[in-house]
Amino acid sequence: MCDQTFLAITFGPCDSCSENRPLMNLYIKTEPINYCSLCMEIMACQGLASGETLKSLKAESETLRKKLEEERKKLHDVELEKVAEKAEALGELNMKTRRTLKGHGNKVLCMDWCKDKRRIVSSSQEHAVTMPTTWVMACAYAPSGCAIACGGLDNKCSVYPLSLDKDENLAAKKKSVAMHTNYLSGCTFTNSDMQILTSSGDGTSALWDVESGQLLQSFHGHSADVLTLDLAPSETGNTFVSGGSDKKANVWDLRSGQNVQSFDTHDSDINCVKYYPSGDAFASASDDSTCRLFDLRADREVSIYSKDSIMFGAASVDFSLSGRLLFAGYNDYTINVWDVLKGTRVAILFGHENRVSSLRVSPDGTAFCSGSWDNTLRVRQEGRGVGRELKQGGTTLYG
């Protein structure tokens, strides 16, 4: 299990203020202490002690970084390509578009699948009745399938309960849940309909209780906009990863708000992060036209998926069910399919007439859907043998 967070004590009396709060597991020179987030902040903002200067702190930072690098280097004994030699090669993949959904009047910005594997919610930049703002940059389907959450330039995340009545005015039952100080870039429900995790352009992510709109936990650590987030699929489900425009991808503990791991090898904004199906790794797509795979247990980047002929930024990624294939949508209107283990490109898919802004694989892995700024969504599948290509406007569109 990659996340060691479940073994740590995360709630109890803080060592410094003795109040019962969610605890962060920190170390002062190898001595473990349990501080609540408030005490940690106080400790960080304390005035400079005698003998400490900004320079000495920075020097300490450098030594720690070097030490960390050394430690990680010791554990790095093999490359992914070597280990992947054992895996058999993939056959030729023949992807075809099975559905083209044309319902939006403007760019499709975001989409999400329902757990029933058939329905999709998608959001776009248009003057719809329900949203008071144009750019709706994040949308998510609730695990039960009974509600959707969306948000964007209005700085809020609102939950809309769905109903069987098609004509019902969804805007009437809207519930504002999250309130950020700047645009909302990503949102997702946790394992139930009652909690939402959001990321915002103000550099923070937050966990909210839907019913009361209460802020349960906030996560500070990015020095620029947080553009994307993904919840871990692991059995303990206590962590999530967020990527920002400060080129870093951070892993957070949901309970205490602590930043447990950080990866900053990208050269540009990280547009999308997605966990590997086993929960032990995650992939990120960035404006530097590469997608990278980061190993959480070994705490390092293990693979870069890039090609000289791909020069435009990647906007979104997702894994197939087994984790062998990585689908990535780019700003040059194409979708590239990578072999995760071998690091090679398996296929390139055309068809969209503008940037591919979002891409998700369905919950059971039977197909993937890509939404683009050309106002359409395309559902694609592997097309060996049986079946014909059928293009029709779909009715499975909400939002």
Partner 1 sequence: MTIRTLRDYGQHYRPRMACLKNVEVFVVEMQDPKSGVKGADQKLNVTIIPHVINGQDVLAWIVTKMKVTTEEAQAFGTMLVAYGYIYPLQNHRKLVLVPDSTLYRFQTPYFWPVQKWPAEDIDYAIYLARRNIRKKGMLEPYEQQHYDNLHKWMNPKWDFIVMQATEQYKANKERKKPDRVVLDCQERAYWIVHRPPRRTHSAMDYGLDRLIDPNAEEVLTFDVVRRTNIFLTQALMRSAVKSSVSLTAFVKFVTTHHNHDPFLTTPVPSNPWITDSDEFWQLNSRSVDIPTKLSVERWVLSFWELISDPRGRVDFKLFLKKEHSAENMAFYEAAEEMRWGAASAIPEKSQFIFNTFLKPGAPRWINIDGRTMGLTVKGLVVPHRYVLDAAQTHIFLLMKKDTFYRYLKSPVHKDMQKRALVPAPHVFTDAQLEANVRNRNPGISPILQWQQEEEEKAAAAVAARPIDVKAMVATNKLDRK
> Hey, which residues between 279 and 338 contact partner 1 (CB under 8 A)?
280-281, 287-289, 295, 297-300, 302, 308-309, 311-313, 320-325, 331-334
Q: Which is nearer to partner 1, 32 or 132 (CB)?
A: 32
Q: Which of residues 262-281 bind partner 1 (CB under 8 A)?
A: 262, 267-269, 276-278, 280-281
Q: What is the smallest separation between the CB atom of 323 and partner 1, expressed in angstroms?
A: 5
176 binds partner 1 (CB under 8 A): no
Helix ranges restricted to H, 219-346:
none
339 φ, ψ (degrees, to nearest 5)? -90, 115
397 binds partner 1 (CB under 8 A): no
45 binds partner 1 (CB under 8 A): yes
Map residues 213-252 to x or -, x wherever contact with partner 1 holds by CB under 8 A: -x-x----x-xxx--------xxx--------xxx-----
Q: What is the smallest separation between the CB atom of 171 and partner 1, expressed in angstroms?
A: 18
Contact 211, 227 (CB under 8 A): no
Residue corresponding to tokens 């992947």: 84
Among 131, 138, 159, 162, binds partner 1 (CB under 8 A): 162
Token duo for residue 315: 């906007």
Among 150, 260, 326, 359, binds partner 1 (CB under 8 A): 260
Specify the DSSP class assigned to residue 201.
T
Q: Label residue 323 left, alpha or beta by phi (over 0 means left) and psi (-120 to 50 means alpha).
A: left
In angstroms, what CA-CA distances link 264 with 22, 249, 259, 296?
27, 6, 14, 13
Among 50, 78, 129, 172, binds partner 1 (CB under 8 A): 78
Among 103, 174, 265, 383, binds partner 1 (CB under 8 A): 383
Among 13, 17, 19, 87, binds partner 1 (CB under 8 A): 87
Among 115, 133, 170, 174, binds partner 1 (CB under 8 A): 115
344 binds partner 1 (CB under 8 A): no
Q: Which is nearer to partner 1, 168 or 171 (CB)?
A: 168
Q: What is the smallest separation between the CB atom of 155 and partner 1, expressed in angstroms?
A: 11
38 binds partner 1 (CB under 8 A): no
Token duo for residue 120: 């999709």
58 φ, ψ (degrees, to nearest 5)? -65, -40
CB proximity list for 282: less than 8 A, separation 6 or greater: 230, 241, 249, 273, 274, 275, 276, 293, 294, 296
Q: What is the smallest separation between the CB atom of 313 and partner 1, expressed in angstroms?
A: 5
340 binds partner 1 (CB under 8 A): yes
Specify the DSSP class assigned to residue 373.
T
Q: Which of residues 126-145 bind partner 1 (CB under 8 A)?
A: 135, 137, 144-145
183 binds partner 1 (CB under 8 A): yes
Residue in 315, 348, 304, 355 with CA at minimum distance from that of residue 332:
355
SS3 content of the chain, % helix, strand, coil (to 5): 10, 40, 45
In angstroms, what CA-CA distances link 9 with 6, 23, 233, 236, 386?
8, 7, 21, 14, 54
